[in-house]
């Protein structure tokens, strides 16, 4: 690994683990319990106010040093990045985005490490307290102290250090703004980092919202998307015109592209699935259909989407391959989670890019760039498959990785003209998961031409 690889740095923490002001170590946490959620939140708040740091999970101190704690969970899925940031959103103010990685210790066992960012302009505090008897108090600031331990600042020196860090971060931001005035823009590296952070928080909070909505569904409901899903998120960066939510809804409806029967960001009008406003965004959850004759919707028709007046959009959808009424390959109604169609991602991503182009031109008519991100989950064990009247089945192309995230940045004005050149490099890493399958640019161009002729 290169020296600056984050995985390499985190691996070093497990060679001789120890706590200090920038590193905290915890036993295995049951993140379904409020007590352990609060304990995690308190550690993250203290590390954030210390300028950032790392939280190692699953170790316990012994006379010989730190060793793996007992009661290791069967799998580490409960320590996923979405789960950790969901807890942060509920307990931490302002909500910050933490990076979570499973790192292999010298023992060969994996441990989650939560990397907490620093650089905050205001002190980070608790949004809510822990259960009775827990030390996390509501609306309280915590810092790392010698010991090491996490406690509220008390002395003048502790407050001075904390506020000094915040003022330094404000100064850096002010200097960036002055550079923008003097030289026509902040550094590209800083601007790109800010865009990535904003879109990441938007995406994570949207998925957390979807998790809340689906939590009350029956376990076997198709709208739970238990066999996997894909999500599309994008951010329009430009001179965005101010508009009310009703005006945004009108622009969203006008930006619809209808090349397929189920377009992205479809704005339905029927009661029970029509979009609504919440937290100053437009939200739609078709999977929550209140019509009793359609309440158990299949994965491909259970969309959840959100759009913000700030030019942020998120769409989460299940796989058409997992729907019971679909015929794929030479098999009729295969088991959900078994196959992955060769051409559907080309159509879906191409259509979503065209929709993003249309909306971007509506809300930023003077020109804009687009940061576009895609994530696929539930891939492990799926076979890459195509319809038999087009190409033979690809039985040996099996994915061994469960998820992948992809991203690109493009000028909005170039999307229609360069659509195949944008879609091909974006999706190639996805197809490589299926036994090194090489996605042909000719196939991409041909499928997108078929799409746009419809």
Return the structure tokens found at 27. 């036993």
Cβ(52)–Cβ(117) below 8 Å: yes
- Give the H/E segment covering residue 65: strand 65-68
Q: What pLDDT, on a 0 to 100 scale, did the predictor assign at position 329?
A: 41
Structure-token match 């989407």, residue found:
305
For residue 339, give Cα distances in angstroms to 344, 436, 447.
12, 16, 19
CA gap 3, 121 in Å, rounded = 29
DSSP string covering 326-375, please? -EETTEESPPTTSEEESSHHHHHHHHHHHHHHHHHHHH-TT-EEEEEEEE
Helix boundaries (H) for 56-187: 81-91, 156-183
Please compute the mean of the pLDDT values over residues 74-90 and round it to a whole number.
89
Please check whether residue 305 is in contact with residue 316, taking contact to mean a CB–CB distance below 8 angstroms: yes
Who contacts 196 (Cβ-Cβ below 8 Å, separation ≥6)? 371
Span 309-356, pLDDT tens digits: 999 999 999 998 888 654 444 343 468 898 899 999 999 999 999 999
Q: Which of 168-177, 202-211, 405-414 has the lowest mean pLDDT?
A: 168-177
The H or E element containing residue 292 is: none
Q: Give all domains of the chain, ordered by start, each with its CATH number.
A: 6-158 (3.30.950.30), 188-453 (no CATH)
pLDDT band of residue 183 (cuts 50, 70, 90) is very low
Q: According to the model, what pLDDT value does residue 251 have?
A: 94
Task: Please give the pLDDT value at position 334.
Answer: 64
Over residues 157-163, mean pLDDT: 89
Mean pLDDT of the chain: 86
Rounded to whole angstroms, the Cα distance separating 274 from 284 reads 6
Cβ distance 150 to 43 under 8 Å?
yes
Mean pLDDT of 195-211: 86
Which helix (H) or strand (E) covers residue 278, if one does?
strand 276-278
Residues 108-130 as b or e (16 or more Cβ within 10 Å = b): eebbbbbbbbbebeebbbbbbbb
Mean pLDDT over 150-170 rounds to 87
Q: Is pLDDT at 6 greater than 50 in this prediction?
A: yes
CA–CA dist 48, 178 (Å, integer)? 26
Tell me the pLDDT tens digit for each residue of 387-441.
Answer: 654 454 566 899 999 999 999 999 999 999 999 999 999 999 999 999 999 999 9
Residue 150 to residue 223: CA distance in whole angstroms: 41
Q: What is the pTM of this model?
A: 0.59
With beta carbons less than 8 A apart as the criterion, state whether 383 and 245 touch: no
Assign 4 a pLDDT band (cuts: 50, 70, 90). very low
Give the whole-angstrom CA distance, residue 49 versus residue 119.
9
Q: Which range has the top average pLDDT, 181-195, 253-267, 440-454?
A: 440-454
| 151 close to 145: Cβ distance less than 8 angstroms | yes
């Amino acid at each position: 690994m290169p020296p600056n690889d984050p995985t390499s740095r985190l691996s070093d923490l497990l060679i001789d683990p120890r706590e200090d002001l920038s590193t905290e170590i915890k036993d295995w946490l049951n993140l379904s319990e409020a007590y352990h959620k609060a304990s995690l939140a308190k550690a993250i708040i203290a590390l954030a106010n210390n300028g950032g740091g790392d939280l190692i999970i699953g170790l316990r101190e012994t006379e010989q040093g730190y060793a793996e704690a007992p009661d290791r969970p069967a799998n580490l899925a409960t320590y996923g990045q979405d789960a950790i940031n969901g807890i942060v959103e509920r307990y931490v103010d302002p909500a910050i985005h933490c990076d979570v990685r499973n790192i292999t210790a010298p023992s060969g066992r994996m441990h989650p490490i939560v990397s907490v960012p620093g650089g905050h302009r205001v002190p980070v505090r608790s949004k809510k307290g822990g259960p009775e008897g827990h030390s996390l108090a509501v609306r309280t600031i915590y810092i790392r102290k010698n010991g090491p331990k996490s406690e509220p600042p008390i002395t003048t020196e502790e407050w001075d250090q904390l506020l000094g860090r915040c003022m330094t971060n404000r100064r850096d931001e002010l200097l960036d703004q002055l550079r923008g005035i003097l030289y026509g823009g902040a550094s590209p590296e800083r601007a790109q980092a800010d865009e990535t952070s904003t879109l990441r928080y938007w995406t994570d909070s949207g998925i957390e919202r979807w998790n809340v909505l689906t939590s009350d569904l029956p376990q076997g409901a198709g709208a739970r998307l238990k066999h996997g899903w894909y999500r599309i998120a994008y951010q329009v960066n430009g001179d965005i015109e101010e508009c009310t939510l009703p005006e945004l809804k009108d622009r969203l409806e006008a930006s619809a592209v209808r090349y397929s029967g189920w377009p992205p960001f479809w704005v339905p009008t029927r009661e029970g699935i029509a979009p609504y406003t919440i937290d100053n965004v437009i939200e739609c959850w078709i999977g929550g259909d209140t019509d009793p004759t359609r309440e158990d919707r299949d994965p491909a028709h259970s969309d959840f989407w959100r759009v913000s007046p700030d030019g942020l959009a998120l769409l989460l959808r299940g796989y058409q391959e997992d729907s019971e009424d679909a015929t794929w390959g030479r098999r009729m109604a295969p088991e959900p989670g078994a196959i992955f169609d060769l051409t559907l991602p080309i159509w879906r991503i191409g259509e979503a890019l065209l929709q993003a182009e249309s909306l971007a031109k509506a809300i930023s008519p003077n020109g804009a760039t687009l940061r576009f991100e895609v994530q696929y989950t539930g891939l492990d064990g799926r076979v890459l498959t195509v319809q038999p009247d087009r190409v033979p089945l690809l039985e040996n192309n099996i994915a061994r990785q469960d998820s992948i995230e992809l991203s690109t940045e493009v000028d909005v004005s170039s999307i229609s003209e360069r659509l195949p050149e944008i879609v091909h490099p974006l999706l190639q890493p996805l197809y490589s998961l299926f036994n090194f399958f090489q996605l042909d640019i000719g196939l991409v161009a041909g499928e997108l031409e078929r799409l746009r002729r419809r």
